Amino acid sequence: MASYRLAGQDFSFDGLTVPELSLFGIKGTDQTALLPAPVPLALSCRTMGWVGGEQREVEVWSARNGTILKVRGGSDFFISHDGSRISRSDCVVIEEGQSDLPEVTGLDLEILLGPALVLALALRGVWCLHASAAVFGGRTFVFLGESGQGKSTLAAYLSGERKWRLVADDILPVTIGPAGMVAWPHFPQRKLSTQAQPATRLPARLPVDRICVLSPVDKSALPDLLLLLSRQAQQTLVSHTAGARLFDPSLLAAHLAFCAEAARQVLVYKLGYPHNRDTLSKVELMLEITC
């Protein structure tokens, strides 16, 4: 059983070894018996999602001791009720002391580190935002946006400056509590190489100071920050949470409560700027002035 600490949470990947997560491995784990293969009981949701380079049908099934995630063309994955254990749902019991675990490759890796891990984190009260992020002067800025809207480009540009440091490139796990929102940067950024992972240079947790949702504007426009009302901020967080379509009613309720509390505690802005490198320096200056 391989174990990893991701986004401040310990996970056991039963019967799986994932070299891509070596940076987050927990030493001293053993090879213990796996849970019995789960039996699907009821379909919780069926949707379409971008996995493995194409749109695929995704199903979530309830099981007696957890949840089964099915993605067309890939293996089925089982997630325990508390989200702490993930395995292939067709796994068999491993004898104690066995060390040769099958590696996860290709589409299965996309499923495991995508919807399976996002769903497992949600079960533990950790929500994954479609976001990049960077820290400046001890303040963490989170940039929300769909693919192609420039969130990775902006965070990469900022982190190229000495004053800024990259926190996340595409997915950012966060939690909310009495002290505000916390980002958990020790999480694999799939588009970055092992050497470029931000986790190697960051603490396990960072307080979130600002959230900015990117909004394209005319090429001739100047960068602009507009503070969103609480209701707008809540809807922004709802629509930029990864894997939300996979949540059952209880998870949806918990997620909505998170978004409402986050919108109450954290300033959320609409950041409009032309998507070209000529304006990035102006965006940088504007963000620094808000601190």
Residue numbers of the chain with a pLDDT score lower than 50 = 92-100
Instruction: Determine the pLDDT at residue 20.
Output: 87
Rounded distance, CA 132 to CA 134, Å? 7
Angstrom distances, CA of residue 44 to CA of 57, 114, 197, 240, 260: 14, 18, 34, 21, 24
Instruction: Determine the pLDDT at residue 74.
Output: 93
Instruction: Determine the pLDDT at residue 78.
Output: 94
For 56, the 3-state DSSP assignment is: strand
40 DSSP β-pair partners: 63
Instruction: Determine the pLDDT at residue 194.
Output: 87
Rounded distance, CA 80 to CA 112, Å? 14
Tens-place pLDDT, residues 141-173? 999 988 778 899 999 999 987 799 999 999 999
Instruction: Determine the pLDDT at residue 88.
Output: 87
pTM metric for this prediction? 0.91
Tens-place pLDDT, residues 32-68? 555 566 778 899 999 999 998 999 999 999 998 899 9
4 contacts: CB under 8 Å, gap ≥ 6:
10, 11, 13, 18, 21, 24, 25, 26
In terms of Cβ atoms closer than 10 Å to its own Cβ (0-12, 13-18, 19+), residue 179 is exposed
Instruction: Determine the pLDDT at residue 233.
Output: 97
Tens-place pLDDT, residues 197-208? 999 999 999 999
Residues 174 and 184: beta-carbon distance below 8 Å = yes
Query: Which domains are seen in the chain, by residue range?
Result: 2-123 (no CATH), 127-289 (3.90.228.20)
Rounded distance, CA 52 to CA 216, Å? 28
Q: In what order do the strands lie in the sheet with 66-71?
A: 2-6, 9-14, 85-88, 77-80, 66-71, 54-63, 40-51
Reading phi first (left if > 0) and then psi (alpha if -120 to 50, else beta), residue 27 is in beta
Residues 169 and 103: beta-carbon distance below 8 Å = no
